[in-house]
Amino acid sequence: MMKVIVMYSSFAGLGRTRQGRHDGRNTNTTLSVTGCETIEDVTTQTAGLGATIRAFRDRLSPAATGLPPGHARRAVGLRREELAELAGVSVDYIVRLEQGRATTPSAQVTSSLARALQLTSAERDHLFRLARLVPPTDDQISYHIPPGVQRVLARLGDAAVAVFAADWQLIWWNRSWPALLGDPSASPPGLRNFARDTFPVTSDGPRLSHWPVTSLDADATKAAVVSDLRRATGRFPRDRRLAKLIRELADGNKQFADLWTAGTVSAHREDRKIVEHPLVGSVTVDCDVLTDGDAELKIVILTAAPDTEDETKLRLAAVAGVRDPALS
């Protein structure tokens, strides 16, 4: 019979541990590091939620997010106010998260932070766990944008660009998008959905554009939206938000209900739209939709034909940066 000898060593600076139970499960085991500081304290300081957000922020350059680099920057990565702008939260809340005074952000805020920080799926899941949240599963619609897609988005220049999830929920937009269509953040997050705009169930009006937009191929666009939602039900059969959206549209909009019942399948991925901009007038733009991978992300790109009056107007709109008159 071979004997196993377990040797114990003591190190200077380490306190004693409590004796474990004889059944192999320790109770309230704590390792003292500096007299009154515990391993849990050290982990919170160096690898907790606040420290992790700071580390992710420090490694991300403004250029990678499409922000101008600025002058005389003291911060290596993003400033707190830049992260707040990208994530759609207040600077004060970012400060409280990083200082450990806020420790339980909502799933929506955590998803927004993950997108703004351009995290990988594994890093996003880690951030969720630090926030004491269950990470999204593969059978749920993802509101995450992979870093590779983020890099492409940052290189699209002056085009007005937005990213929608598989259920046509708006999850990201660049600075040119609100300049052309109005600021989406003025609408409640739950209403920033292109399917809801396309098939309204109330008289409140569109929530994604704050001035009139006319589609030159509206019927094909509507059929494509229904087809996209139908495909999403096959890809994400257990997603409750998607099921709720389809039920509300079918109950409240007859045109959607008819198209849904007909089993519409379409692959329409381009359109031409006329935007009635309040400062520069009518702007005709091409609307192209790219789809990314299994997550069914939809990248919507609005551009004007080169060397035209519409291209000039699009640039003027971007420079003007007009706000929604209702918010002025």
Q: Does the pLDDT of residue 285 top 80, yes or no?
A: yes
Q: Report the C-alpha gap between 291 and 274 in whole angstroms.
A: 23
Q: Report the C-alpha gap between 15 and 256 in whole angstroms.
A: 68
In the chain, the N- to C-terminal Cα span, in Å, equals 84
Please choose, from the candidates 116, 125, 179, 184, the residue with its C-alpha nearest in 3D space to the C-alpha of residue 150: 116
pLDDT band at 154 (very low <50, low <70, confident <90, very high): confident
Q: Report the C-alpha gap between 323 and 62 in whole angstroms.
A: 24
pLDDT band at 254 (very low <50, low <70, confident <90, very high): very high
Please choose, from the candidates 169, 119, 122, the residue with its C-alpha nearest in 3D space to the C-alpha of residue 145: 119
Query: Mean of the per-residue pLDDT values for the chain?
Result: 83
Structure tokens at 128: 């969720």
Pairing outcome for strands 297-303 and 160-164:
antiparallel
Tell me the per-residue pLDDT of 72-120, one tens digit each, with 9 for 90 and over.
666 678 999 999 988 889 999 999 999 999 999 999 899 999 999 999 9
Structure tokens at 17: 């541990």
Phi, psi of 275 (to 5 degrees): -100, 125
- The better pLDDT of the pair 37, 126 is held by 126
Mean pLDDT score, 26-33 = 44
Tell me the CB-side half-sphere exposure of residue 238, using CA atoms within 13 A: 5
Give the 3-state secondary structure percentages of the chain, helix then strand then coil, rounded to 5: 40, 15, 45
At position 23, the amino acid (one-letter code) is D
Considering the entire predicted model, what is its pTM? 0.75
Mean pLDDT score, 253-257 = 97
Q: Report the C-alpha gap between 145 and 299 in whole angstroms.
A: 10
Q: Give the pLDDT of residue 321.
A: 66
Tell me the per-residue pLDDT of 223-248, one tens digit each, with 9 for 90 and over.
999 999 999 999 999 999 999 999 99
- The better pLDDT of the pair 238, 34 is held by 238
Mean pLDDT score, 15-22 = 40
Q: Give the pLDDT of residue 34.
A: 52
Q: Are 211 and 275 in contact (CB under 8 A)?
A: yes
Token pair 């990314």: residue: 292
Token pair 């290596």: residue: 76
Task: Using DSSP, state whether 20 is helix, strand or coil.
Answer: coil
Tell me the per-residue pLDDT of 123-138, one tens digit each, with 9 for 90 and over.
999 999 999 999 988 8
Reported in sequence order, the residue ranges of 183-269 that DSSP labels E, i.e. its strands, are: 213-215
Tell me the per-residue pLDDT of 300-312, one tens digit each, with 9 for 90 and over.
999 999 999 999 9
Q: Report the C-alpha gap between 215 and 186 in whole angstroms.
A: 23
Q: Is 199 left (phi over 0), alpha (psi -120 to 50) or beta?
A: beta
Could you give the angle at the alpha carbon of 197 between the alpha carbons of 191 and 199, nearest 5°?
Answer: 120
- The better pLDDT of the pair 69, 248 is held by 248
- The better pLDDT of the pair 69, 264 is held by 264
Q: Give the pLDDT of residue 64.
A: 82
The enclosing H or E element of 177 equals helix 176-181
Q: Report the C-alpha gap between 209 and 212 in whole angstroms.
A: 7
Q: Does the pLDDT of residue 69 top 90, yes or no?
A: no
Residue 256 neighbours by CB distance under 10 Å = 24
Please choose, from the candidates 158, 85, 150, 152, the residue with its C-alpha nearest in 3D space to the C-alpha of residue 119: 150
